[in-house]
Amino acid sequence: MLEVAILSGSAFGAAEEVARHAEQQLTAAGLAACHLPDIGLDALLALDPQALLVVTSTTGMGEVPDDLQALLDEIEAWQPDWRGRPVAVIGLGDSCYGENFCAAALQAHALLLKLGMRDVQSQLQLDASETVTPAEDAEPWLARLAAQLLKLR
């Protein structure tokens, strides 16, 4: 059993870096957390994750990066029973994209909530127009997430 599966969607590597950083920080906090880039649904279900952390950028005009879209399609098709399990989402985007800002993170989040997963804290959105250090900027939010998940044990 895996306590926290960290899924990532990234076109150019920034979201992957944040996901790797999240794995280090949650592990250091005492959680069994694993970043699983490019994982398929069968392999994910076999790990029986008790919580999901999704870290995704947005690409194109409001699109989910290919590496995450494939998994989201499988989740949509198979509707795994993750009811009641915690979910948390970090979106990387750029506010220059206006109404498409962090659209991929919002889309992934909505899908997982539709499955009955529950929010433990509000989505973190990291704006490339405002920061060039998204991994560091995510640290306080990740510290709060770790505390929430440890409380649920």
Ligand X SMILES: Cc1cc2nc3c(=O)[nH]c(=O)nc-3n(C[C@H](O)[C@H](O)[C@H](O)COP(=O)(O)O)c2cc1C
CA 22, 27, 33, 34 torsion-angle sign: positive
Given the complex with ligand X, which of 13 and 140 has the nearer CB atom?
A: 13
Binding flag, residue 13, ligand X (CB under 6 A)? yes
Contact indicator for 39, 71 with CB cutoff of 8 Å: yes
- How far apart CA 29 and CA 94 sit, in angstroms, is 30
Show contacts with ligand X in window 60-79 (CB under 6 A). Answer: 60-62, 65
| Interior angle at CA 24, CA 23 and CA 26, nearest 5 | 65
Indicate which single residue of 58, 87, 89, 111 sits in contact with ligand X (rule: CB under 6 A).
Answer: 58
State which of residues 6, 102, 112, 117 lies at the interface with ligand X (CB under 6 A).
102
- Is there binding between residue 93 and ligand X (CB under 6 A)? yes
Spatial neighbors of 12 by CB under 8 A, at least 6 apart, are 57
Nearer to ligand X, 82 or 97 (CB): 97
Interface residues with ligand X (CB under 6 A) are 10-15, 57-62, 65, 92-94, 97, 100-103, 128
